[in-house]
Amino acid sequence: MIHFEWLWLLAALPLPLLIRWLLPASTPIEQAALKVPFLEDFSVVETRAVAKAQSWPLWLAALAWLLLVIACARPQWLGEPIEQAVSGRDLMLAVDLSGSMEERDFFINKSPVDRLTAAKMVAADFINRRVGDRIGLILFGTQAYLQTPLTFDRKTVMTLLNEAVIGLAGDNTAIGDAIGLAVKRLKNEQANSRVLVLMTDGANTAGEVSPLKAAELAAASKLKIYTIGIGADEMIVRSFFGNRKINPSLDLDEKTLIKIAESTGGHYYRARNTDELNNIYMRLDELEPVEKDKQYFRPRSELYYWPLSLALALAAVIAVSRVRLS
């Protein structure tokens, strides 16, 4: 159906008539002329021809004015209503960018990759499945930054996550500040729809707020936190004295991550490889959505340029005719 966004502008249609009625008519200029008696028989024919020549530009001008007013009223074509999937969940991702995330103890297609690369790959699939959720992104290292506010635009969130690099926020780990920032950004949202997924491979070594204190604030704000500890339990390292096994996740503070999750009603997950990390995100997919009113979207197509183009074309025809008559 056709819809006029600014319908009230159609009230301008009688404006030329009002101007003609209110302003005084111009007085014709009399000029001397030589009267020829035998041409009097042609006066009636000449008068009709002049009247006809003067009337058609007036009708074109009226039509041009009508089209111009219609264009100003901004006509639009409204499509059929489309129901938008809205689950009502507001989900914030907090990703660790500290220096330890460059440890290459994860594998993709049997090739070793650093922890951040593996996290990006799995998190991208997770984000892509969050149809109907508003998603935000926090990146933290020595400091915590809000990279993306809550949005339905999953593509932008994935793009900004893929552009993140290790050390962007510093080499240390400020888990408490990341939680505090999430609490601040989600405090005005619905109390039963706030979720934070925090992924780290270490312990809190920086920041102004301790993780457990931040978890208390999160619990008071009814923010549910799911923590993910990533990193392999063992890794073979080659050296001058031969191969030896080490634990690359010695710095992972699992006790604190467990307490954070339990105090907020969430859960702690351990990801030792890419498959486990993917399974964790599959479990998070099962979070119960919060019901909200259905939202509908009607696609709109602008049509104003059609009457505007016709009005300009008619104005050009009138201008050319005036030049020829003169």
- DSSP 8-class letter at 23: S
pLDDT at 196: 93
In a domain? residue 92:
yes
Task: List, for the chain, all residue ranges whose pLDDT scores fall below the cut of 70.
Answer: 25-54, 82-88, 190-192, 234-248, 287-297, 325-326
Strand 300-302 relative to strand 111-113: parallel, antiparallel, unpaired?
A: unpaired
Buried b (16+ CB within 10 A) or exposed e, 250-260: ebbbeebbebb
The per-residue pLDDT for range 275-311, each reduced to its tens digit, is: 888 888 888 877 655 555 566 667 788 888 899 999 9
In a domain? residue 39:
no
Is residue 235 domain-shared with residue 97, that is, in the same domain?
yes
In a domain? residue 31:
no
pLDDT at 293: 53
Closest CA to 207 of 102, 98, 101: 98
CATH of the domain at 278: 3.40.50.410
Residue with tokens 């593509």: 155
Is residue 12 domain-shared with residue 138, that is, in the same domain?
no
Is residue 106 domain-shared with residue 178, that is, in the same domain?
yes
pLDDT at 47: 52
Is residue 217 domain-shared with residue 274, that is, in the same domain?
yes
d(CA 119, CA 230): 9
In a domain? residue 235:
yes
pLDDT at 42: 47
Is residue 170 domain-shared with residue 316, that is, in the same domain?
no
User: Residues near 305 by Cβ (< 8 Å), separated by ≥ 6?
Assistant: 71
In a domain? residue 210:
yes
Global pTM value: 0.63
In a domain? residue 166:
yes
Is residue 206 domain-shared with residue 60, that is, in the same domain?
no
Is residue 211 domain-shared with residue 119, that is, in the same domain?
yes
User: Residues near 91 by Cβ (< 8 Å), separated by ≥ 6?
Assistant: 130, 133, 134, 135, 136, 195, 196, 197
Is residue 103 domain-shared with residue 242, that is, in the same domain?
yes
Residue with tokens 């070594």: 205
- Tokens in use for 290? 């919060």
Continuous segment of H or E residues that includes residue 113: strand 111-113
Range of the domain at 92: 84-284
Residue with tokens 């007036």: 58
In a domain? residue 26:
no
Is residue 256 domain-shared with residue 315, that is, in the same domain?
no
What total of structural domains would you count in the chain?
2
Residue with tokens 């030589």: 34
Is residue 68 domain-shared with residue 94, that is, in the same domain?
no
d(CA 209, CA 277): 27
Alpha helices for the chain (secondary structure H): 15-22, 43-72, 115-128, 154-162, 175-186, 211-220, 254-263, 274-284, 305-325
- DSSP 8-class letter at 130: -
Is residue 244 domain-shared with residue 154, that is, in the same domain?
yes
Is residue 226 domain-shared with residue 313, that is, in the same domain?
no
- Tokens in use for 245? 């096994």
The per-residue pLDDT for range 79-127, each reduced to its tens digit, is: 877 655 555 678 899 999 998 888 888 888 888 888 899 889 888 888 8
d(CA 235, CA 155): 35
In a domain? residue 29:
no
